[in-house]
Structure 1
Amino acid sequence: MFGVTAASAMVWGMAGIGAGAAAANTVIDTIPVENPVGVTITPDGSRAYVTNQSENSVSVIGTGTNTVVDTVAVEDFPTGVAVTPDGSRVYVTNRDDNSVSVIGTAGNTVIDTVEVGNSPVGVAITPDGSRAYVTNRGGNAVSVIDTATTTVVESVTVGNSPRGVAITPDGSRAYVTNREDDSVSVIDTATTTVVDTVAVGSSPRGVAVTPDGSRAYVTNRGDDSVSVIDTATTTVVDTVAVGDGPREVAVTPDGFRAYVTNTDGDSVSVIDTITTTEVETVPVGDFPFGVAVTPDGSRAYVTNILDDTVSVIGVDRCLGSLCIATGSLVGGGSTGSGGAGSLVGGGSLAGLGSAGSTGS
């Protein structure tokens, strides 16, 4: 827990208050691309990399202008995408080519291609950048790539039809969603073995770990819910009802919000991680799929498969129930009104955890 006084909270939020401050959780920009699915954002926040399935390419978006600044050709049906912690490499799963393309971000060119398992979809990279974990939905396994040698060094058998994958901030565990088993496999990264299996909701797809590593959020597309796993006990401690057909999830860097794409509802659900409730629904494009939050926590990028766009959402920036929405104080009661909003909140401000990845 941490606390702030009303005065310090006002100072903390005043920088963005004023004319032109954006409303909370609204689409502030729309970027045209081609059949976008996965999305990841570089550690410095300057670029978003988006996989374009039907085009066998990756669009590079400059986040300063929200325009496509480059396009990289990859292999067949690119789906998942993740960037290394130093921002030098982007790993792209090519579902129908059974491979992973490695893009060097300095020149936005493919510098290597790695053969993995059957039908790779999700990918996540360890915090030290030494390993990439790739889910192979057709092989019921996870390929582990040594990023120094760009070779597969391990294959871990998990549940049936693995999709999403996320790694804890300390790098000790990888969480893998198994769509057909309604479960999550927990991999010990030191031994590269499954050490636990957690029953979740129907048809789990996406997964993200909070920045402090205490919770894993799992989207259950079959029952329109999100399972919240306590990573210390490896048990489901809460279930959140969200929109229609939840697919992917990303947690903000401050840990106070989780953003969930609802593919069949053309919306994004915003979860308050303190109360574990859906607090808002944001309309976006047609069939939203991937989602990633910028490192500064100011924006969420959402891929809309069926209308060939990326929606950019202005994100809540919160301290407990006091939130800054792209610069505006929102929620909890209006300023100067004696509203009921608490100025004390819980959660971690620790470093970024793995945001998970797209599993088609």
Structure 2
Amino acid sequence: MTVQELREEIVQKTEEINGYLESRDADKAEEALAEKRKLQKLLAVREAEDDEEREDLGRQKKQKESRSTGAVSELRAAVKFALHGKAALTDEERAAVNIDGNAAILPEQFVNDIQVLRAGFPSLKNHCHIIKASSNHGKMPFAKIGGKKLKKYKSGTKLTGEAANTEDIQYNIENYGALVPIANDLQEDEAVNIVQEVIKPDFAEAGVNTENDEIMQIVEGSAVDKSTGAKDWRDVKKIIDGVLPTLRGRVVVITNLSGSVYLKSQEDKNGRNLDLVKEVNGKEYFQGKELITLSDEDITASATGKMIFYVVNLYALVKFFERKGYTVSTDKSVFFESDELALKVQERFDCEKLDERADFKVEFTPA
């Protein structure tokens, strides 16, 4: 019951007691008084509980506002560093900003916001082997999936070192970014608004598209062509079934919009849809493998009217090296003629190829 409901019942009980007193009914008056006291105890508990809820909501609101204020302060400090350098920062701003060379790493909340915005675009990166790199250049050993076994050692057997079946992958992380011209005398708050309202949403979409381009270059360059004799979607299924068991688990099917429409439109001889594409938790699946649909501009068939599909284990094929976070900096030379600064937001990554045993392409002209 609510506080108001309890208070109303207490008022009614009080009137009831007064009635019994007027009629000199002591027993009923005493019974009604006991019920009134019980209602008063319940009211005290309910009021205390409501106070605690209000305090909890107040604390949560303050924490949320504090996080939001902290994120904005970090972003403002990062942008101020990009515009004016470290010397212009206060001690508090220097403590808030994370500097990497001549750029400032944008705060965690900015990164989280980017990830939320990116969720609306099909990302191939999520299926690759993502490695957090601490430097822009280097090499790292990787072992291919499958065929590994442990050696049995008996008690007392001397252990010998054996070379692992690994391959060193060289990586060279590049910067990918967006440039926005700004006035030389732009204030920090105005620059922050540009980063939040202009760069962030565009950067989310552009970042996914750029990563997809780099990944698809590896997929297309390494794919084994299985198009000979292919006639319809059943040939895509055959390729999936023929992938090595050790690599089949992480296989995805990549196609363009035309290929996706083709799969969804397939019917049996009686005109009933075959329901080849299933949707589970917002993701589409074909033959139990996630179906990733890019645009026809991103994946183009070799001829008009042909359907194109890639069956690939991106985790085995692509090693995606990335540096932590996004950075903001300025460049005074890009828009020199117009006397403007270039506000530059960047992400840093590199894609390298390893295991191409599960990378196939199939094209066909549907009957």
TM-score (norm 1): 0.20
Q: Which has the higher strand share?
A: 1
Q: Which has the higher helix share?
A: 2
Relative contact order: is structure 1 or structure 2 higher (C-alpha 8 Å, sep ≥ 6)? 2
TM-score (norm 2): 0.20
